[in-house]
């Protein structure tokens, strides 16, 4: 038995308790993944996810916030473009047996012991009888250049996607994993990247997942990032107010916040006033002309006509702060 065979046996032993559950529709899939930390957000446990913070993940799994069951634009784009990526994969790897994990045959994989889950996009089997997974991402061309390409022009996916593929490889007992970036511009290109299956990364994710569920059980909430988590936090209190007043006179932090806010508002007001003076002077120089030529700048002052329209009634909670005297 060679080293590769030993590695395969080790992986099979390591994933002996992995559950493989049919998830043929979105409602079933959402219900299944609600009980686990999924591969797509595992990067949040490592602090490398660009869209999900540790607090947001905690709030979701603790039931403080709920996952939107509706498909957003990014999800729709991914769903519609995924079959295109699968077809390009088949064309690039004609000797592979490729199974798209979608529709009626879709399966969800989970490790019930640590509550870690995954939904691989593609299962593959090579001529050498190796099993693998491919995690597909649709990437806008400018984002691909900015976030994926190295200085040498080679694709290097963001760390959270590496983490996702490593978890999916573990769940399936795969011999290898790849990330496929579908870049749609004037043409359509699929860039394939090999994923090193580092045992240390997987062990770290497992350890962080176990710690995460321990924190959930103990109510040990991570710090909130008011920059990244602000919209979620505001959404918690977006409904009707209770009509009562809270006494924060003994809260030292609220005094610091109000003082800082007042200072920043004063700076903004001064800047807005200065910008207004500058704009009026520029308007005076343009006069009744539609455009002005200045090297290095584009300046216009055209008439903007707006059509009449009705605004539907709405309600929201407005934050207003002013000095008491």
3-230: CATH number: 3.90.320.10
Residue 96 burial by CB count (10 A; 0-12/13-18/19+): exposed, middle or buried? Answer: middle
The predicted pLDDT at position 130 comes to 92
Task: Give the integer Cα–Cα distance in Å for 325 and 322.
Answer: 9
Q: What mean pLDDT value characterizes the chain? A: 89
The predicted pLDDT at position 155 comes to 94
Alpha-helical segments (H) within 155-248: 159-172, 199-218, 230-236
The predicted pLDDT at position 143 comes to 93
Q: What average pLDDT score do residues 205-221 get?
A: 97
Residue 9 has pLDDT above 70, yes or no: no
Bridge-based pairing of strands 37-38 and 116-118 is: parallel
- The residue written with tokens 């099979």 in the block is 12
Residue 192 and residue 180 in contact, taking contact as beta carbons nearer than 8 Å:
yes
Q: What average pLDDT score do residues 208-226 get?
A: 96
Q: What average pLDDT score do residues 217-244 get?
A: 89
Q: What average pLDDT score do residues 297-315 get?
A: 80
Which backbone phi and psi does 231 adopt, to 5 degrees? Answer: -65, -40
The predicted pLDDT at position 10 comes to 47
Look up residue 74 and give its two tokens.
């990014």
Q: Where are the domains positioned within the chain? A: 3-230, 252-300
Residue 81 has pLDDT above 80, yes or no: yes
Specify the pTM.
0.79
Residue 6: C-alpha distances to residues 14, 28, 108 (Å): 12, 36, 27
Who wins on pLDDT, 115 or 72? 115
Q: What is the pLDDT of residues 28-60, one digit of tens each?
A: 999 999 999 999 999 999 999 999 999 999 999
Buried b (16+ CB within 10 A) or exposed e, 223-256: ebeeeebeebbeeeeeeeeeeeeeeeeeeeeeee
């Amino acid at each position: 038995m060679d080293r590769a065979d030993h590695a395969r046996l080790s992986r099979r032993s390591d994933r002996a308790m992995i559950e493989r559950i049919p998830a043929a529709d979105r409602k079933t899939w959402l219900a299944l993944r609600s009980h686990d930390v999924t591969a797509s957000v595992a990067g949040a446990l490592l602090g490398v996810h660009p869209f999900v913070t540790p607090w947001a993940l905690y709030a979701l799994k603790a039931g403080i916030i709920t996952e939107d069951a509706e498909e957003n634009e990014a999800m729709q784009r991914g769903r519609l473009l995924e079959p295109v990526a699968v077809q390009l994969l088949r064309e690039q790897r004609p000797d592979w047996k490729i199974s798209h994990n979608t529709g009626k045959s879709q399966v969800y994989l989970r490790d019930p012991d640590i509550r870690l889950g995954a939904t691989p996009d593609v299962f593959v089997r090579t001529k050498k009888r190796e099993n693998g997974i491919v995690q597909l991402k649709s990437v806008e061309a400018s984002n691909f250049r900015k976030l994926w390409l190295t200085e040498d022009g080679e694709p290097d996916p963001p760390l959270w996607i590496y983490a996702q593929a490593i978890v999916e490889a573990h769940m399936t007992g795969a011999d290898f994993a790849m990330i496929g970036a579908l870049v749609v511009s004037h043409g359509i290109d699929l860039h394939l990247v090999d994923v090193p299956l580092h045992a240390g990364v997987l062990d770290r994710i497992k350890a962080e997942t176990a710690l995460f569920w321990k924190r959930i059980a103990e109510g040990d909430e991570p710090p909130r990032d008011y920059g990244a988590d602000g919209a979620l936090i505001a959404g918690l209190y977006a409904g009707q107010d209770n009509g009562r007043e809270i006494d924060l006179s003994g809260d030292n932090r609220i005094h610091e916040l109000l003082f800082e806010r007042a200072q920043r508002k004063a700076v903004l007001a001064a800047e807005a006033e200065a910008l207004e003076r500058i704009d009026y002077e520029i308007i005076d120089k343009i006069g009744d002309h539609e455009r002005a030529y200045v090297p290095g700048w584009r300046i216009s002052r055209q008439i903007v006509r707006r059509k009449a329209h009705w605004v539907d009634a709405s309600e929201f909670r407005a934050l207003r702060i002013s000095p008491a005297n």
